[in-house]
Amino acid sequence: MTESERRKADATLDISQEVCPMTLVLTRRRIEALNPGQCLEVILSDGEAVRSVSLSAKEEGHRILQVKNEDGFISILIERS
């Protein structure tokens, strides 16, 4: 079992009904509310938002620990830097 499979989210954000740029704005705000080292699970629909949210989080210095496809939705686990 890898580290990312053992990690649990400290918070969850469901933006599956949102579109860009709100997906980025809402994710950024929620990550900022976490302490460094805490994890956020972001649930979203497949498409451009998945790439945008992941890329934005990486550019801000956060770690993408896991990306899973679950029941037609994508779950991204992000660790705040």
Domain holding 54: CATH number? 3.30.110.40
| H/E element, 40 | strand 39-45
pLDDT classification of 75: cutoffs 50, 70, 90: very high
Averaged pLDDT, 51-73 = 94
* Domain encompassing residue 54: 3-79
For residue 59, the SS3 value is helix
Can you give the pTM of this predicted structure?
0.91
Token pair 């998945």: residue: 50
Q: How many domains does the chain have?
A: 1
* Backbone dihedral angles phi then psi of residue 75, each to the nearest 5 degrees: -115, 125
DSSP state of 79: E
Give residue 72's pLDDT.
87
Contacts of 14 (CB under 8 A, 6+ apart): 43, 44
70: which strand partners?
A: 73
pLDDT in tens, 24-50: 999 999 999 999 999 999 999 988 889
